[in-house]
Chain A
Amino acid sequence: MGKTIHYASITKKIVMSLAGLFLTSFLVVHLTINLFVLFDPSREMFNQAAHFMATNPFIQTFQWVLFIGFILHMIFGVVLQIQNWMARPVRYEKKGSSELSYFSKFMIHTGVVVFIFLIIHFANFFVKAKLGEVESITYASGTYEDLGNLIILLFKDGAYVAFYVVAILLLGFHLDHGFQSAFQSLGLNHSRYTPFIKLIGTLFSVLITLGFVAIPLVIYFS
């Protein structure tokens, strides 16, 4: 972490934005596969997709790149935040009321909740699958680990569903600011395209949030 501090502020921001944008690609893939659970009650499509993700050599290599992306985004995010706090040792008496991009105020907070969520999520699915604790299910196409059933069992737990929904909502807020912010940090600001990028960012955040929130809610209430 010591060396991270010595990178120029803008270098850190560029790493943050590149890692962040890269992580959004993961969300798209993850959501697409998750939605299979809703559209195929036999869970065959989902289990097949999960099997593919867990065994394909390209995906397996890419998984490490993704992991590095997460680590960089988190380390740089925390370092930047600590420096930002240190830059104002004496706080204002009156809370700032300047007009600003609203969710930008809570990036560290939403980020930390998403991180906690990630750890729990990892323990629930990734670790269990890697330790081979998941039961198998046989279809005409072959035998797979029944990860789909794991999802359904978890989403029948009201407390877990509530936590999941809250975490995803906060992720949505994080994305809404983060998406357009990444372009600004990379120097991509243009009077013609920036409003469009902001719109795309908001639409993307809303779609990702709705998609991920829909799955536990549908399973819980059905």
Chain B
Amino acid sequence: MDLTLKIWRQASATAKGKFVNYKVQDISAEASFLEMLDLLNESLVQKGEEPVAFDHDCREGICGACSLYINGRPHGPDRGITTCQMHMRNFKHGETIVIEPWRAKPFPVIKDLMVDRSAFDEIMQAGGYVSVRTGGVPDANAIPISKRNADLAMDAAACIGCGACVAACKNASAMLFVSAKVSQFALLPQGKLEANERVRKMVARMDELGFGNCTNTYACEAECPKEISAANIARMNREFLVAKITAPKE
């Protein structure tokens, strides 16, 4: 199929960006979206032009590196997958595809379609860890954890930190990401010890970084490649409320 790509080009973090149209031809429906961009870049390099910069790493949908806001949706038109796993069969011959970087104040553009997502790392540094030694892998069932909580914690831990939730949210809120991280610890005994402190610190850092506030639109849940549930956001709200109410006087 032949396509027109309308791509955001920005030479550096401080440069002024603009959209540039590119034509690509004979794209196979079986090609992944990133393979299609690879073909474009090869042709640009051959012409002596600067290739389009975009983030990618494992191309197996598990690393969280790839991004791209494609035709008004993070990770493109398919549900529950990352851009690298999304294939060209989702598009029609002759279509124009608009490709933009994630847009959020805490995710500044580095170059073209690449954004700096280290704001997520900063939130993790604020409390997204367990500071006790949990030792090696324990024997099965040595620590009693209900099957339900184990499953919920595992589902929350499936978050790959790609930032699609922030990109999709009309408020650029990071609540789905932060709530998944808060939940994966809060649901397990090892994480429970510091749960109150953790949620307060992570939410405070999230706010400081300039992410928006959650208005419960659930666009994040619809676009998350790992289909993290917005029920995690409610859990974090609950955790936060309890942490605030029970916090000792300083």
Q: A84-B215, A88-B103, A92-B103 are in contact. Are A184 and B73 (CB under 8 A)?
A: no
The one of A88, A94, A185 that contacts B72, using a Cβ cutoff of 8 Å = A94
Which chain A residues numbered 81 to 115 have a C-beta less than 8 Å away from chain B? 83-84, 86-101, 104-105, 107
Which chain A residues numbered 45 to 88 have a C-beta less than 8 Å away from chain B? 80, 83-84, 86-88
In the assembled complex, A131 has its CB within 8 A of some CB on chain B:
no
- In the assembled complex, the CB of A121 is this many whole angstroms from the nearest CB of chain B, namely 26
Size of B's binding interface in residues, CB under 8 A: 49
In the assembled complex, A140 has its CB within 8 A of some CB on chain B:
no
Q: Which A residues are CB-close (under 8 A) to B74?
A: 98
CA distance in complex: A185, B216 (Å)? 8
Q: Which B residues are CB-close (under 8 A) to A13?
A: 213-214, 237
Q: A83-B213, A93-B100, A104-B217 are in contact. Are A184 and B72 (CB under 8 A)?
A: no
Please tell me if the beta carbons of A96 and B219 are within 8 angstroms of each other in the complex. Answer: yes
Interface window among A122-130, A163-171, A187-195, A213-221: A187-195
CA distance in complex: A13, B203 (Å)? 13
Interface window among A4-12, A154-162, A202-210: A4-12
The one of A14, A89, A98 that contacts B222, using a Cβ cutoff of 8 Å = A98
Q: Which A residues are CB-close (under 8 A) to B71?
A: 94, 97
- In the assembled complex, the CB of B159 is this many whole angstroms from the nearest CB of chain A, namely 17
Please tell me if the beta carbons of B213 and A92 are within 8 angstroms of each other in the complex. Answer: no
Q: A84-B170, A88-B172, A96-B170 are in contact. Are A8 and B207 (CB under 8 A)?
A: yes
In the assembled complex, B85 has its CB within 8 A of some CB on chain A:
no
In the assembled complex, B238 has its CB within 8 A of some CB on chain A:
yes
Q: Which B residues are CB-close (under 8 A) to A87?
A: 104-106, 171-173, 210-212
0/1 per residue, B193-225, Cβ < 8 Å to A? 000000010011011001111111111001100
Please tell me if the beta carbons of B171 and A84 are within 8 angstroms of each other in the complex. Answer: yes
Which chain B residues numbered 94 to 127 have a C-beta less than 8 Å away from chain A? 98, 100, 103-106
In the assembled complex, B162 has its CB within 8 A of some CB on chain A:
no
In the assembled complex, A186 has its CB within 8 A of some CB on chain B:
yes
In the assembled complex, A34 has its CB within 8 A of some CB on chain B:
no
Which chain B residues numbered 64 to 103 have a C-beta less than 8 Å away from chain A? 69, 71-74, 98, 100, 103
Interface pairs (6), CB distance under 8 Å: A13-B237, A84-B215, A92-B72, A98-B73, A100-B222, A181-B216
Per CB-CB distance, the 6 closest pairs between chain A and chain B, nearest first, are A187-B238, A189-B234, A87-B212, A84-B171, A87-B172, A187-B237
Interface residues of A (CB under 8 A from B): 8-14, 80, 83-84, 86-101, 104-105, 107, 177, 180-181, 184-189, 191, 194
